[in-house]
Amino acid sequence: MGLFTRGKKSHSSSFLDNDTASQLKILNKKAEEHDIEVLKHKVENLSLICRALWEFICEDKNLSENDLVKRIEKIREMKEKTEICPKCGRIMNLNQNKCLYCGTRGNDTGAFK
């Protein structure tokens, strides 16, 4: 999302001359690149925090990385499961915990939903 559009389509050539429109395009591209860099930095930081927390838990609970991989797979399988929406009868992904068609909430109301 660019700094000057904020989710809306840019107003390009309808009321801007070509130079202004192309400058706006360049600025939007730079703003998007900046947003991506900020997100990359945040993801890298969260990854480091995750690793540090894992190492604390590993040391404390005597777990191995294999235990972590198994748990991740278990969670991934659970997230891919589906259920039938109680209101409209369509299939809903438990990962969404909300029917895409009618908005009915799923049964899982845990902290990660």
Give the other-Cβ count within 10 Å of 90's Cβ.
13
| Listed ranges 9-17, 43-51, 64-72, 101-109: which one lies at the site for Zn ion (CB under 5 A) | 101-109
Return the residue of 38, 57, 63, 88 that touches Zn ion, per CB under 5 A.
88
To Zn ion, the closest distance from the beta carbon of 113 in angstroms equals 16
CB 104 to Zn ion: min, Å: 5
Site residues, Zn ion (CB under 5 A): 85, 87-88, 99, 101-102, 104
